[in-house]
Amino acid sequence: MFRHAFMLLAIGMAGPATAQQAADVLAPEAATAPAEAEVWAGLGVQATEALRAKGAGQPVRGKDWMVSAANPLAVEAGARILEQGGSAIDAMVAVQSVLGLVEPQSSGLGGGAFLIWFDAATGGMTTLDARETAPMAARPVLFQDEAGKPLKFMDAVVGGRSVGTPGTPALLEAAHRRWGKANWASLFEDAIRLAEDGFAVSPRLAELVAAEGEALQRYPDTANYFFPDGKPVAAGNRLANPAYAETLRILQREGAAGFYSGPVAQDIVATVRKATGNPGMLAMSDLAAYRVIERPPVCVAYRAHDICGMGPPSSGGLTVGQILGMLEGFDLAQLGAENPESWRLIADASRLAFADRERFMADADFVPVPVKGLIDKAYLAERAKLLAGDDSLPEVSAGSPGWTHAGLWGRDNSLELPSTTHISIVDAEGNALSMTTTIENGFGARLFVRGFLLNNELTDFSFATRDESGAAVANALAPGKRPRSSMAPTIVLRDGKPVLVIGSPGGSRIIGYVARAIIAHLDWGLDVQRAVAAPHVLSRFGPVDIETGTGAGALAAPLAEMGFEINETELNSGLQAIAVTPQGLEGGADPRREGIAIGG
């Protein structure tokens, strides 16, 4: 059966030496470039030590609490709250408010998020859905031209048309009301100080602004902020954002109501509706009607663990769960990380899961979704039988999960590009949260209002409402509906207690990043830093993506020989993870981005 198994490959997962090599190869943005060293010069001792640990490929350790996120200034803000006895939710509010300033391209007040919460006192777990919603005036053909043809993706993204009602401010308030301990207003202090005094522009932000071209300069308020004096902000420039500070002061005083009604809401609506060339239809009534929705997590058993994630409207929890559920019957630990056979199984399990995802997954409040059937043990075991051969599956199509609804959806064509950011936190009481937060595309709709960018989340809907066979698409837009997501904030339990808190940005590749990191940690025994740093190999139905410039390149030939189409490419994940071990907490931060973990 394992005729390819003799090809043992050094891809950086086998042990400390090779994992270190992997961390080195995979760290184009690690804290080694002079500009970066300068930018982070003002950081405190813990953050400086965390950058060093990440560069050395080592996890950060903590006894009581840990926070891992995509920017050191944001992580420092969260760590301050946790050090003072705040809850994981308190720290999240501080982290998110700083991320919205220093990493504005990825997430912020103008976007949405999914949060999964483990409550140490009750042992219970729940999720909060703060996904953006389609305005009530939006119609399924929003992203089609007059002839009914789908718009070009960026023509749809830039402007007001793609903007959904933001969910993040409502999430901050709802989560804090439920599980916060610290004074609400105090949680914005770091972000306000940095916005008023200015913060050092990070190399990643500068690089992304410079790479943007015309779209980020189309609207004057956006251009004035990111291109002061007509030039793109450079790494190390001090950038102040007094408008953002003022918006945060409104949130301090009035809570989320100060965002969803009154002058801030009026400015958002006016910006969307007046966006030159591509206006949208967001209304004050859409903002006033916005609600965070509590939903049960989606959990799948994997070996001795329960992998718990976000259900619809995200496809993250179901698709990660399907991949792992299908792999349950294969001994990946025995096969090993260097064996092409392991990657054949992972790649084809992913293709099968993505076939179901395209067909069945969407906002379950609007269309029936076979949530239970898709992760049913017997169904996944049946699908896993397809993996029994030696070579890649010649054809992959959606299965027939158990379903009370007699529906047949068409295949979806929504395009999901890399974007987004992730926050993982464990507090001193043992509460854990995993939150993936986004404005969708890098810089969202490119509309800047009151110091933050607006999302383009509506382009996560399928542009076509029917597939080529004429079948209706589950993820088609409808008024008030939430677009399907790939975000996969995940908490892994063992005996009912968290052992791994993890998630990543990356569009629809998020699913492969998270599944791969979980396998690396649970099956191959990599510590959390090595698990996030290890090279990526994944599939989203089409070719197998292999991370370029890493040891994983050695897998290209054997996987091609098995029949896979190979795509060697940059895979810019941003995994932020915390392992809860018998020796304490270990934090990991993806070396492909600027994040760190701090523990105490």
The token duo for 580 is 């809860």
Q: Is 222 among the residues that bind ligand GLY (CB under 6 A)?
A: no
- For the bound state, the minimum distance from the C-beta of residue 482 to ligand GLY, rounded and expressed in Å, comes to 10
Residue 419 or residue 465: which is nearer to ligand GLY going by CB? 419
Q: Is 490 among the residues that bind ligand GLY (CB under 6 A)?
A: no
Residues 6+ apart with CB under 8 A from 116: 125, 126, 127, 297, 308, 309, 310, 433, 434, 435, 489, 490, 491
C-alpha 404/C-alpha 565 separation (Å) is 36
Q: Do 573 and 547 form a contact (C-beta atoms < 8 A)?
A: no
Residue 199 or residue 443: which is nearer to ligand GLY going by CB? 443
- For the bound state, the minimum distance from the C-beta of residue 265 to ligand GLY, rounded and expressed in Å, comes to 23
Residue 165 or residue 486: which is nearer to ligand GLY going by CB? 486
Q: Do 71 and 47 form a contact (C-beta atoms < 8 A)?
A: no
- Please say if 168 is a catalytic residue: no
C-alpha 339/C-alpha 408 separation (Å) is 38
User: Catalytic pick from 18, 165, 271, 420?
Assistant: 420
Q: Do 92 and 176 form a contact (C-beta atoms < 8 A)?
A: no
Binding window for ligand GLY (CB under 6 A); candidates: 81-89, 261-269, 480-488, 546-554:
480-488
- For the bound state, the minimum distance from the C-beta of residue 509 to ligand GLY, rounded and expressed in Å, comes to 10
Q: How many residues bind ligand GLY (CB under 6 A)?
A: 10
C-alpha 311/C-alpha 488 separation (Å) is 9
C-alpha 208/C-alpha 213 separation (Å) is 10
Q: Is 113 among the residues that bind ligand GLY (CB under 6 A)?
A: no
Query: Tokens 């809850």 appear where?
Result: 87
C-alpha 61/C-alpha 504 separation (Å) is 20
Residues 6+ apart with CB under 8 A from 214: none
Residue 362 or residue 556: which is nearer to ligand GLY going by CB? 362
C-alpha 449/C-alpha 413 separation (Å) is 31
In the list 130, 449, 487, 533, the residue contacting ligand GLY (rule: CB under 6 A) is 487
In the list 486, 529, 550, 576, the residue contacting ligand GLY (rule: CB under 6 A) is 486
- For the bound state, the minimum distance from the C-beta of residue 366 to ligand GLY, rounded and expressed in Å, comes to 16
Q: Do 107 and 593 form a contact (C-beta atoms < 8 A)?
A: no
Helix (H) or strand (E) segment spanning residue 24: helix 16-25
Residue 158 or residue 499: which is nearer to ligand GLY going by CB? 158
**Cis bond leading into 313, ω under 30°?**
yes
Query: Tokens 């059937």 appear where?
Result: 373
Rounded to the nearest 10 degrees, the angle between the axes of helix 88-102 and helix 189-197 is 20
- For the bound state, the minimum distance from the C-beta of residue 438 to ligand GLY, rounded and expressed in Å, comes to 5
- For the bound state, the minimum distance from the C-beta of residue 320 to ligand GLY, rounded and expressed in Å, comes to 13
Cα angle 221-227-228, degrees, rounded to a multiple of 5: 90
Residues 6+ apart with CB under 8 A from 326: 349, 352, 353, 380, 383, 384, 387
Q: Is 103 among the residues that bind ligand GLY (CB under 6 A)?
A: no
Residue 65 or residue 290: which is nearer to ligand GLY going by CB? 290
Which residues, numbered 393-422, are part of the site for ligand GLY (CB under 6 A)?
A: 416, 419-420
Q: Do 342 and 334 form a contact (C-beta atoms < 8 A)?
A: no
Residue 76 or residue 212: which is nearer to ligand GLY going by CB? 212
Residue 399 or residue 444: which is nearer to ligand GLY going by CB? 444
Query: Tokens 């800047």 appear where?
Result: 448
- For the bound state, the minimum distance from the C-beta of residue 484 to ligand GLY, rounded and expressed in Å, comes to 8
Radius of gyration of the chain (CA): 22
Would strands 432-438 and 537-539 be described as parallel, antiparallel, or unpaired?
Answer: unpaired
Nearest residue to ligand GLY, scored by beta-carbon proximity: 485
Q: Is 460 among the residues that bind ligand GLY (CB under 6 A)?
A: yes
- For the bound state, the minimum distance from the C-beta of residue 361 to ligand GLY, rounded and expressed in Å, comes to 11
Q: Do 418 and 507 form a contact (C-beta atoms < 8 A)?
A: yes
By CB atoms closer than 10 A (0-12, 13-18, 19+), residue 151 is middle
In the list 68, 392, 437, 485, the residue contacting ligand GLY (rule: CB under 6 A) is 485
Residue 41 CB: number of other CB atoms within 10 A? Answer: 10
- For the bound state, the minimum distance from the C-beta of residue 169 to ligand GLY, rounded and expressed in Å, comes to 18
C-alpha 506/C-alpha 382 separation (Å) is 30
Q: What DSSP state is assigned to residue 159? A: S
Residue 129 or residue 594: which is nearer to ligand GLY going by CB? 129
- For the bound state, the minimum distance from the C-beta of residue 154 to ligand GLY, rounded and expressed in Å, comes to 15
Which residues, numbered 506-565, are part of the site for ligand GLY (CB under 6 A)?
A: 507
Residue 348 or residue 440: which is nearer to ligand GLY going by CB? 440
- For the bound state, the minimum distance from the C-beta of residue 289 to ligand GLY, rounded and expressed in Å, comes to 21
Binding window for ligand GLY (CB under 6 A); candidates: 48-56, 142-150, 301-309, 479-487:
479-487
Residue 530 or residue 536: which is nearer to ligand GLY going by CB? 536
Binding window for ligand GLY (CB under 6 A); candidates: 353-361, 470-478, 482-490, 563-571:
482-490
Q: Do 357 and 399 form a contact (C-beta atoms < 8 A)?
A: no
C-alpha 493/C-alpha 384 separation (Å) is 23
Q: Is 438 among the residues that bind ligand GLY (CB under 6 A)?
A: yes
C-alpha 55/C-alpha 548 separation (Å) is 19
Please state whether 191 falls in left (phi above 0), alpha (psi between -120 and 50) or beta.
Answer: alpha
Q: Is 440 among the residues that bind ligand GLY (CB under 6 A)?
A: yes
Which residues belong to the active site?
Answer: 420
Residues that bind ligand GLY (CB under 6 A): 416, 419-420, 438, 440, 460, 485-487, 507
